[in-house]
Amino acid sequence: MAKTPKESLTIFTDIVLPGESNPLGNLFGGELLARMDRACSIAARRHSHAIVVTASVNHVAFNKAVPVGSVMTIEAKVSRAFRSSMEIYVDVWVEDRESQIRSKVNEGIYTFVAVDKDGKPITVPQLEPETALEKERYEGALRRKQLSLILSGKMKPTEADELRKLFIG
Ligand SMILES: CC(C)(COP(=O)(O)OP(=O)(O)OC[C@H]1O[C@@H](n2cnc3c(N)ncnc32)[C@H](O)[C@@H]1OP(=O)(O)O)[C@@H](O)C(=O)NCCC(=O)NCCS
């Protein structure tokens, strides 16, 4: 049975500590990637109810630095499910201490694959997006999957029909 993105929603809120910072006093990029990967892995597991592994990190934008002491929230949810793979979108926010207003600082797109106990890919439930943003992310996911497969040498550019439509209509 198909599932909705909110069923996989995973939210981490934590404070950035000095031991996790770079020499500029901002969160170290690798630490952020690890936290994003963990949140995405839980979202993929909630969607598939299976063992999941990271197949690729398709995109990460470090748009704004996150200073030590920030309260940071990471939100991940499945944006599309294919046969055994799932695309997970992860958004990163920090909140202002005084106003508590959140601003978006980073985002990432990960691909996870559901596997059995022997590490063999297995089928996952399909996804039915609900909100406008979920529908937009769902629509673009096949193009991103094709791009990721081309970059990893698993697909020929000539086979990427959805992606080619972007350039030649
Ligand atoms: C990910 C993994 C299970 C894929 O296995 P595989 O033998 O290549 O299996 P397949 O070719 O059938 O691919 C399985 C799915 O992953 C997708 N996939 C594989 N590589 C991908 C990539 N780079 N980007 C996007 N999707 C990818 C395939 O398109 C396929 O999707 P679908 O079933 O939804 O159509 C396997 O490569 C693996 O176990 N990798 C190590 C994972 C790991 O340890 N991660 C942690 C890093 S330390």
Which of 17-34 are b and which e, b meaning 16 or more Cβ less than 10 Å from the residue's Cβ?
eeebbeeeebbbeebbbe
Overall average pLDDT of the 103-128 stretch: 97
- CATH number of residue 57's parent domain: 3.10.129.10
pLDDT of residue 164: 83
Q: Is residue 157 part of a domain?
A: no
- Ligand 1 pocket mutation pick from 85, 123, 162 by most atoms within 8 angstroms of CB: 85
C-alpha pair distances (Å), 146 with each of 57, 71, 88, 160: 13, 35, 15, 6
CA–centroid distance, residue 134 to ligand 1 (Å): 23
pLDDT of residue 169: 61
Q: Is residue 14 part of a domain?
A: yes
pLDDT of residue 163: 84
Q: Is residue 155 part of a domain?
A: no
Maximum distance among all Cα pairs of the chain, rounded to whole angstroms: 53
Domain that holds residue 85: 5-129
Q: Is residue 22 part of a domain?
A: yes
Overall average pLDDT of the 150-164 stretch: 90
User: Structural domain tally of the chain?
Assistant: 1
State the Cα angle at 32 between 28 and 34, rounded to 5°. 115
Q: How confident is the model at residue 6 (pLDDT cuts 50, 70, 90)?
A: very high
At residue 122, the 3 state secondary structure works out as coil
Burial of 52 (0-12, 13-18, 19+ CB in 10 A): buried
Overall average pLDDT of the 67-74 stretch: 96
Interatomic CA distance for residues 34 and 86, integer angstroms: 18
| Ligand 1 contact via 148 beta carbon (within 6 Å) | yes
Q: How many residues does the chain have?
A: 169
C-alpha pair distances (Å), 42 with each of 68, 90, 103, 150, 163: 25, 11, 23, 26, 29
Q: Is residue 17 part of a domain?
A: yes
Interatomic CA distance for residues 151 and 145, integer angstroms: 10
Over the chain, what is the mean pLDDT? 95
Q: Is residue 138 part of a domain?
A: no
Q: Is residue 147 part of a domain?
A: no
Look up residue 18 and give its DSSP letter: G
CA–centroid distance, residue 55 to ligand 1 (Å): 5
Residue 149 has pLDDT above 90, yes or no: yes
CA–centroid distance, residue 80 to ligand 1 (Å): 15
Q: Is residue 140 part of a domain?
A: no
